[in-house]
Structure 1
Amino acid sequence: MSKVKAAVFASGTGSNFVAMMNCKELACEIVLLVCDKPGASVIEKAKYFGVQTFVLNPKAFNDKREYETEVLRAVREVGAEWIFLAGYMRLIGHTLLNAYEEKILNIHPSLLPSFPGKDAIGQALAAGAEITGVTVHYIDEGMDTGPIIAQKQVKVLPEDTEETLKYRIQKAEHVLYPEVINQVVRKERLWPVE
């Protein structure tokens, strides 16, 4: 039986993309990487794994709708039923939200609703948080505001720097995200936690 197909959207190094690709029991097949940053190192990683890439600069388009229409065409062309955001640094707009309602997941390096947006790790350190973590959630129009599916705590150590905390958060992400993807794709976990 063929697996459900999915696309990963990423803007940076692609550590979560690699974790998905290395997960032998992933319940779906990653068939496309969408990247909005030409030159991002995730592109080479996708080529290494033999995953088709779709790289385009949003600045080349008149507006978000035009950009997302092109992205949507590419995602539909490969038959992807799910979209997983993995360090994708753009808010998703109506075009993709309407086409993939409750089929777009994101992973964020904090225990949402704490520390949304960019530099969540830096925000946690600056706030003196004793515990932070990772959150997998459905996407909506807001910045990290979609319904939460799962979270995993990561303790902030007194000697932590941004690099050491980031390392432990990424380790947690690389375990949690594939687990949640499997639960959601297999319909074992349909609803977000309250």
Structure 2
Amino acid sequence: MRIVVLVSGTGSNLQSVIDAAATGELPVEIAAVGADRPGTAGIARSADAGLETFVVDFKDFATRGEWDAALLAAVQAYTPDYVVSSGFMRIVAPSFIDAFPGRYVNTHPALLPAFPGAHGVRDAMAYGVKVTGCTVHFADAGVDTGPIIAQTAVEVLDSDTEESLHERIKVAERTLLISVLKDLAAPFN
């Protein structure tokens, strides 16, 4: 199964995918890793692993539509079976979703449909939940909506800060993402 992974930041989830693919635990080919801005650690991790990378810098385009079209063209050039949004902090256009129907996988650090958006961990803590977690789902045109593939619960400890809770969620998210990708790859093997 060929995947393109999209990142915006450190790429810690991406690193788990790279490692699992390298050991054969995860039967996928990472065709490329793309980012929405230059200089991300996720792109550096990918280059260090010998993977193809690309950047479609949001700031290089006069309009959102031009950026959307460039991102779609860049991803389509790698003919992925699935596109994995792993910490990719941009909402893609409906045309992108339509190009990969049921094949655009997103990770989110909360138990959707609760706490969608860019601050799922902060919002869960502010609400006072005792359990939160992570979700892997098929993205659609909404913000952190779309059919849920799998979830993992993470207990909120009395001693948690947003950072400590987010770190524990990231650990669960990495395991969950690998599990989901294994399941998606099964028909290809």
TM over 0.5: yes
Output the CA distance in 1 between the equivalents of 2:55 and 2:27.
Answer: 25
Q: Deviations over 1:96-127 (max 9, x none)?
A: 11111111000100000111101111111111
Question: Structure 1 residue 67: deviation in Å?
Answer: 1.6
Q: Deviations over 1:51-103 (max 9, x none)?
A: 11111211322333322222222222222221000000011212211111111
Alignment partner of 1:96: what SS? helix
Q: Does 1:42 align with 2:42?
A: yes
- The equivalent of 1:192 in structure 2 is none
Contact 2:117 2:144 (8 Å CA) reproduced: yes
Alignment partner of 2:168: what SS? helix
- The equivalent of 1:80 in structure 2 is 80
Question: Structure 1 residue 176: deviation in Å?
Answer: 0.4
Q: Does 1:172 align with 2:172?
A: yes
TM-score normalised according to structure 2 size: 0.93
Q: Deviations over 1:21-79 (max 9, x none)?
A: 11132121111111002121111111111111111211322333322222222222222
Contact 2:56 2:70 (8 Å CA) reproduced: no
Out of 134-143 and 22-31, give the one that drifted further: 22-31
Alignment partner of 2:179: what SS? helix
Contact 2:134 2:172 (8 Å CA) reproduced: yes
Contact 1:35 1:55 (8 Å CA) reproduced: yes
Higher helix content, 1 or 2: 2
TM-score normalised according to structure 1 size: 0.90
Q: State the one-letter code of the partner of 1:31.
A: A
Output the CA distance in 2 between the equivalents of 1:78 and 1:141.
Answer: 22
Q: State the one-letter code of the partner of 1:119.
A: H
Output the CA distance in 1 between the equivalents of 2:181 and 2:81.
Answer: 12
- The equivalent of 1:108 in structure 2 is 108
- Runs of at least 5 residues in structure 1 that lack an aligned partner in the other structure: 189-194
Contact 1:133 1:154 (8 Å CA) reproduced: yes
Alignment partner of 2:159: what SS? coil
Runs of 4+ off more than 4 Å: none
Using a 3 Å threshold, how does the CA distance of structure 1 residues 65 and 186 change in structure 2: closer, same or farther? farther
Identity across matched positions, percent: 38
For 1:116-155, list aligned pairs within 5 A: 116-155=116-155
Q: Does 1:6 align with 2:3?
A: yes
Q: State the one-letter code of the partner of 2:86.
A: A
For residue 20 of structure 1, the aligned residue among 17, 20, 23 is 17
Q: State the one-letter code of the partner of 1:122.
A: R
RMSD: 1.4
- Runs of at least 5 residues in structure 2 that lack an aligned partner in the other structure: none
Contact 1:140 1:146 (8 Å CA) reproduced: yes
Out of 19-28 and 153-162, give the one that drifted further: 19-28
